[in-house]
Amino acid sequence: MITEAMKIVECSRNCSNIVIDILEKTMSWFHSYYAAACIDMGICRALVAYERDPVGIGVFYRVPGTEIGVIYYVAVLPRYRGRGIGRAIVASIEQLLSFEGTEVFIATTRVDNVASRDMLSSLGYIEVFIDNLSDDLREIVTMMTCGYEDDLLYVKLEKISLEEFFNIISRESTVKVIENLWRNICYSPWARLRRRKA
């Protein structure tokens, strides 16, 4: 259970070290690298859940020029899991982005991540198997979320249908925005990493 001592606060670019620490402990250095790069570029923002010390993070961004918010990473330290912290982080991201005009929220995960699937479903997200999408939509979703390892898309809609959402992200003007976003948050960090290893 979430305690009264729990606080969830938005942090600025100087919180990359907290994001890195929690993602390295819960996922991998690879994920922490991408999240920190996105925050350092000023595209991603982060929320940190504190119970004296940081216990969880949420990294998110808006697709420029749209009403779409992407929940990029949610991670909670293992000993704090099962207490609703991840759910509280996602709800806080939604509340913050809703205040800024976001009406569609998306996230991706893997089929075997049962905890994330249950959490997102309980928050009203619709589950879509990415492999069931057309090739074009699959590519757009992957570019928009940088979710190359994921096979499930979760969508939470306020005012439009799932079909309307897919039509919006398929528009030529939106695809161009998504391609530019992809270059910044997916391709550029990958290219820098590759140059370092060369």
Per DSSP (E only), the strands in the chain are 7-11, 45-51, 53-62, 68-76, 104-109, 126-129, 152-157
Residue 4's pLDDT is: 65
Burial of 24 (0-12, 13-18, 19+ CB in 10 A): middle
Per CATH, domain 7-188 is 3.40.630.30 = yes
Q: Are 27 and 75 in contact (CB under 8 A)?
A: yes
pLDDT at 16: 86
The DSSP output letter for 185 is I
Instruction: Return the structure tokens found at 192.
Output: 């820098």
pTM, rounded to two decimals:
0.94
What are the sequence ranges of the domains in the chain?
7-188
pLDDT attached to residue 2: 57
pLDDT at 11: 85
**What pLDDT shows up at residue 198?**
63
Q: What is the pLDDT tens value at each position of the chain, 198 positions in all?
A: 555 678 999 986 678 899 999 999 999 999 999 999 999 999 999 999 999 899 999 999 999 999 999 999 999 999 999 999 999 999 999 999 999 999 999 999 999 999 999 999 999 999 999 999 999 999 999 999 999 999 999 999 989 999 999 999 999 999 999 999 999 999 999 999 888 876
